[in-house]
Amino acid sequence: MTTPDYYSPRAPSGLDVVAYTRRVVDSLHRNNPLTDAVVSRGLIKWLGNYTNSGNPDKINYLWIGEFLPADPNLGGVAQRGFSLVRDDSRGGISAIAMFDAAPDLGGGLRQTLFITSGDNKILARESRQGGWFWPEDLIPLAPMGNDTLKWPGTQSATFDTLWEGRVNGLGNQLSYRVFAANDGGATGEYRIRVEAPGGDLVSTTHVLGAGLQNVFDSSFDIATARGVTCTVRIEARRTNAAGNCRATPITLRCHTTTV
């Protein structure tokens, strides 16, 4: 009987089995970087070569398992997550972690990603609602109106595009601050429109009286645009009398609130 696993032209003996098992275990130990890890009740702590800043303890280079704050939905049982810390002379600066830093905010346990640079500055933080809480995506726009002597305006009775740009769907909200003004006796309406998959997303329509000016500061839900790049427009229409209805953006940003 040939047994290729044991490289022996006979049935394996008990000694063969023991020797083979030992070779497998030795191989696993040689290739397993967690040989010297601390494992306790499902928690793995892999100690680094460098110490924490301010104390002599070696850093927890990799931490997989129990995290505080605890999960309130499970009666105070520690949540599960992971943390990867830079094992270098800067003293235990986090690189990436996943856990819920505020499970008491409601909505159940919602674990998020935290990514930090080597100088301990936040690079990205996921929102508990999905998408990035930070960084926010600032949206550049360009004028599109047919009257640019002052700044873009329209005399159209239907909504006309005054500014156009692109929005990257990193978050669930588009927040805007737009300055609008009506020339002469004109009255007008202003809005933001995002051309998203499945249908356009439109903000509140802001109404402005004859000869007035105002700053519109608000936000609206664009969650269905998450994960794609869409066209965003500042639109206006004249609703009465003569003159231009003008608008110019102060800021537009895409983000997700924390709660």
pLDDT in tens, 81-117: 999 999 999 888 999 999 999 998 888 899 999 999 8
The CB-side HSE value for 108 (13 A sphere, CA atoms) comes to: 2
In terms of domains, do 177 and 245 share one? yes
Q: Indicate whether 41 pLDDT > 70.
A: no
pLDDT at 75 over 60: yes
- Count the domains in the chain: 3
Q: Are residues 141 and 104 in the same domain?
A: no
Q: Please report, rounded to a whole number, the percentage of residues in the chain having pLDDT higher than 90.
A: 50
Q: What contacts 96, CB < 8 A, 6 or more positions away?
A: 83, 84, 113, 114, 115, 116
pLDDT in tens, 240-250: 999 999 999 99
Query: Does residue 212 sit in the same domain as residue 106?
Result: no
The Cα–Cα gap between 253 and 85 comes to: 31
Residue 2's pLDDT is what?
41
User: Is residue 132 in a domain?
Assistant: no
58 shares a domain with 22: no
pTM of the model: 0.66
Q: Does a structural domain hold residue 233?
A: yes
Which residue would you say has higher pLDDT here, 9 or 228?
Answer: 228
Which CATH number covers residue 188?
A: 2.60.120.260
Burial degree of 36 (CB within 10 A; 0-12, 13-18, 19+) = exposed
Q: Cα–Cα distance between 236 and 176 in angstroms, integer?
A: 15
Range of the domain at 67: 39-126
Question: Mean pLDDT throughout 131-139?
Answer: 86
In this structure, the answer to whether residues 13 and 121 fall within a common structural domain is no
Residue 22 has pLDDT above 80, yes or no: no
The answer to the question of residue 131 being in a domain is: no
User: Is residue 149 one of the residues assigned to a domain?
Assistant: yes
Looking at the DSSP bridge assignments, the partners of residue 141 are 165
